[in-house]
Amino acid sequence: MSDGGELDGKVALVTGAAMGIGAAVAELFAERGARLVLIDRSPELGGLAERLGAAAVIGDLTDPAVLDRTVATALDRFGGLDILSNNAGIQRYGTLETTTDAVWDEVFDINLKPMFRLAQRVVPHLKASRGAIVNMASVQGLASQANVVAYTASKHAVIGLTRAAAVDLAPFGVRVNAVAPGSVDTPMLRWAVSLADDPAALDAAIDAMHPLGRRARTREIAEVVAFLASDRASFVTGAVYVADGGLTIPLGGAPKPSETAR
C-alpha cells in the first residue's frame, strides 16, 4: 500500500507481473500510489496482487480474450487507465539455421504480439488520460550475442514498435518509451545460467561483462520504468533508456599502449 507518491491515483496495467522485472515494477508502482491491474499466466500472481491490493488476471497473454478481460477489469474496477507497462517475455536459444518456425513464433507471440495487441486496446483510454506506455526491450534490441536470433529479433521489433507508436500517439499526448536492460537478476536469467555446463563460471562471466561488475537488481530497472511512466518524463517519448551497467560501451580487444595515441 502507498502513503502517496508521484503515481498517486494513476491506474497502471502491468504485464508479466508475477516475478522478475514485472513484479518489481508492480511493487514500485504500488509504493508510489498507483492503482494496479496485474496480469501473468503464473498462479503466483495471486499472492502478489493480494499483498499490493491489486486486481489480478491470471491468463495467457497470447489469448486475445484474456487481453480483453484484462482491459475490462481495469475499466470496471478503476474507471480508466493511465499507464501500460509491458514486461512479459521469454528467452529461447538458436541460430538463424537452428531456430525452428515453432520457436520463432513462440518468442514473437510472447515478446512482441501482446504489446501490440494490448496497446491497441488501451490507446483510447490512454488518449483520454494523456497516459504512457513503457515497453521492456533489452540491450539485445540494440546489439546481439550469438545463438539468440529469435530473441534478438523480437527485442529489436519491440524498439521499432515503441518508436512508431510514439510518433503516432504524440499528437494525443500519449508517450511511448522502452527500457533496454543488460543482465538482470531474474528467474529467466537464473534458468538460462542453469543450462550451462559450469553455471558458477557463467555467473561470474555475466557479472564481469558489465563495467559496474555486476548484474542489475530488478528494482533498479523498475525505477527506470517508473520514471518513464511518471510526469517527470513528460517530454520524453520514443526513447530507449539503456540500463545496462555499461555493458554495451566497451569495444572488443585491448590496444597496446603505443597504439592508444593514434
Count other Cβ atoms within 10 Å, centred on residue 221: 27
Set out the domains of the chain in order of their start, with CATH numbers: 11-247 (3.40.50.720)
d(CA 162, CA 178): 6
State the Cα angle at 117 between 63 and 187, rounded to 5°: 65
Please enumerate in sequence order all residues whose Cβ is within 8 A of that of 34, keeping only pairs 6 or more positions apart, or say none.
2, 7, 8, 9, 10, 11, 12, 83
> Which among 16, 21, 132, 151 is annotated as catalytic?
151
DSSP state of 143: S
Please enumerate in sequence order all residues whose Cβ is within 8 A of that of 204, keeping only pairs 6 or more positions apart, or say none.
none
Cell numbers linked to 22:
514485472
Q: Is 241 a catalytic residue?
A: no
Residue-wise pLDDT tens for the chain (262 aa)? Answer: 445 689 999 999 999 999 999 999 999 999 999 999 999 999 999 999 999 999 999 999 999 999 999 999 999 999 999 999 999 999 999 999 999 999 999 999 999 999 999 999 999 999 999 999 999 999 999 999 999 999 999 999 999 999 999 999 999 999 999 999 999 988 777 777 788 788 888 788 888 889 999 988 999 999 999 999 999 999 999 999 999 999 999 877 666 665 555 5
The residue behind cell 518489481 is 24
Cell numbers linked to 259:
597504439
Q: Is the pTM of this model over 0.85?
A: yes
- 158: three-class secondary structure by DSSP: helix
The residue behind cell 491491474 is 37
d(CA 30, CA 221): 15
Cell numbers linked to 196:
550451462
Q: CA-CA distances (angstroms) from residue 13 to 40, 119, 171?
A: 11, 11, 22
Backbone angles phi, psi at 134, to 5 degrees: -125, 115
Return the exposure string of 20-29: e unless at least 16 CB atoms fall within 10 Å of the residue's CB, then b: bbbbbbbbbb
Return the exposure string of 225-247: e unless at least 16 CB atoms fall within 10 Å of the residue's CB, then b: bbbbbbeebeeebbbbbbbbbeb
Residue 252 burial (CB < 10 Å; 0-12/13-18/19+)? exposed
